[in-house]
Amino acid sequence: MKRLKWTRKTLRKIAAELRSLGIQVCANTVGRLLREMDYSLRVNRKAIAARSAPERNEQMLHIAELRKRFTRAAEPVVSVDTKKKELVGQFKNAGVAWSRSPLLVHDHDFRSMAVGLAIPYGLYDPTVNCGSVFVGVSHDTPAFAVESISRWWGTEGCRRYPAARKLLILADGGGSNGPRCRLWKERIQTEICDRYGIKVSVSHYPTGASKWNPVEHRLFSEISKNWTGRPLDSYQTILNYIRTTTTVKGLAVKACLVRKKYKTGIKVADEQMRQLRIVPDTSLPRWNYTISPRKNAN
């Protein structure tokens, strides 16, 4: 046999190749024979796991134990992350939606044609099945991430948990809320711990394990399903779709637009880091730590 692979040929082309070899067969028969041999058109499937950290399972078990401990003590647990950035404008949004006619959108997704950029930073409270999404318009920075959490606590969290003295934040292992980000830790100290007088424990999911972060599969996935097939032509449209996201299990979502411009490239000096009241956990300290309020803070 030749080394030629026919895996990408159409049924008509395969039939033509067979006829050139003296085998008289039509395209429909080729399709039937292939199905009988359990062949079908298939797509690539992501199933080969990348190399993971050796402590991955240990960290996942640690996070599960932390969640149980905080829940038993009636202390709040919040899962946070940044959703995929979206171009705001008449652009194609993957998926289908019921309509009498197709919705016309631009044939190219050029940034210059967009009204702006939407950066949704989400917080999900698994205890009450509620989410809050802060839609930024400039950059996904640690300052934006922490201020979103601070706003949530100042408007919802402290009212929902009036007796709370601790807060557990579940975050990804990279991006604006990564464990190596100094500004993330410095802003948690100033914007949450010092401002509200509560301890904040942070646990990061290992690299490649963000899909287990509750905000991903409990909040972001539902938002994506709600606006599937609809152009995100304005910030108001985005906010409306987020606010109307619900599930049969009672998910409720709030959303607000953050027009503040956030600067990138802000550095935190060693001296500032030494002033933080941060204590790494004994278990996997690079992913788990607790920040306490400073006594001299306003």
Q: What sections of the chain are H helices per DSSP?
A: 11-20, 27-36, 56-72, 142-152, 158-160, 182-187, 194-196, 214, 221-226, 235-243, 270-274
User: 246, 123 in Cβ contact below 8 A?
Assistant: no
Q: Can you tell me which residue has the tokens 């033509």? A: 16
Question: Dmax of the chain from CA atoms?
Answer: 90
Q: Decide if 168 contacts 201 (C-beta within 8 A).
A: yes
Helix (H), strand (E), coil (C) string for 76-136: CEEEEEECCCEEECCCCCCCCCCCCCCCCCCCCCCHHHCCEEEEEEEEEECCCCEEEEEEE
For residue 68, give Cα distances in angstroms to 77, 90, 126. 10, 44, 12
Domain 56-291 carries which CATH code?
Answer: 3.30.420
Structure tokens at 92: 């194609």
Residue located via tokens 């991903």: 216
Spatial contact of 166 and 202, defined as CB atoms under 8 Å apart: no
Tens-level pLDDT at each residue, the chain (298 residues): 566 666 667 899 899 989 999 999 999 999 999 999 998 888 888 877 666 678 899 999 999 999 999 999 999 999 999 999 999 999 999 998 888 888 899 999 999 999 999 999 999 999 999 999 999 999 999 999 999 999 999 999 999 999 999 999 999 999 999 999 999 999 999 999 999 999 999 999 998 888 899 999 999 999 999 999 999 999 999 999 999 999 999 999 999 999 999 999 999 999 999 999 999 999 899 999 999 999 865 5
Tokens of 276: 């933080």
């159409």: which residue's tokens? 10
Q: Which residue in 167, 172, 177, 174 sits closest to 201, CA to CA?
A: 167
Tokens 């910030």: give the residue: 235
Output the six-digit token pair for 144.
Answer: 């934006």
- End-to-end CA gap in the chain: 80
Work out whether the CA dihedral 143, 147, 148, 150 comes out positive or negative.
positive
Please state the domain extents for the chain.
9-44, 56-291
